[in-house]
Amino acid sequence: MAGCAVIARTTLAAGALLVAAAVCAQSLPGPNNRPAPGNENLAATARDANYQPQVNYQLECSGCHLVDGEGARANDVPRMKGFVGHFLDVEGGREFLARVPGVSQSSFNDAQLAALLNWVLTGGMAGASAPHDFKPYSASEVGRLRAEPLKEIAGARNALLERMRDKDIAIEDGLAGRP
């Protein structure tokens, strides 16, 4: 606060003085500051709250992939709804889903992330693309895969999409044909 007094004494213009006063009036923690009633304890993080996978999807995935998994073409976010399960139909797709940065770098622990992937692929977003012989992700598998996040997403994804085309799987990710 001593710096604020110097600013106020050396400021010449009245407008600049008001700006300096506003800057100096910022809320700084003090020895007598207390949390507002009801906020004495920190809220649990999503990781610590142990929510169901569908809630975790809403918390960390829906901001980009949207609530229903439709994605956002304008932001180059692919649709998961009715399509994401096809990644398991091609070599490297299973690994891709656990290594893509939005997944591998999420705040969830390995077990929560495995549960989230399993939900997305069996009941959440995959729809008709859900594999009939799906082998659920385990926490240890997710931990191993996410330890090496993808560094070049577009190339890896494009290679998987090409493998899908080779198997006559329609690319219905909401981005197909995008320049």
* Phi, psi for residue 172 in degrees, rounded to 5: -115, 60
Q: What is the pLDDT of residue 179?
A: 43
Give residue for tokens 């006063």: 21
Q: What is the pLDDT of residue 85?
A: 93
Measured distance CA(168)–CA(141) in Å, rounded? 29
Q: What is the pLDDT of residue 50?
A: 78
Please, what's the largest Cα pairwise distance for the chain? 76
pTM value is: 0.73
Report how far Cα 129 is from the mean position of its chain's Cα atoms. Answer: 22
Count of CB atoms situated within 10 Å of the CB of 12: 6
Residues of the chain with pLDDT under 50: 6, 11, 179
Give residue for tokens 């091609």: 90
Element (DSSP H or E) covering residue 21:
helix 14-24
pLDDT tens digits, one per residue of 41-67: 777 777 777 788 888 888 888 888 888
Q: What is the pLDDT of residue 118?
A: 95
Every domain of the chain with CATH number 1.10.760.10 lies at 50-166
Q: Domain 50-166: state its class.
A: mainly alpha
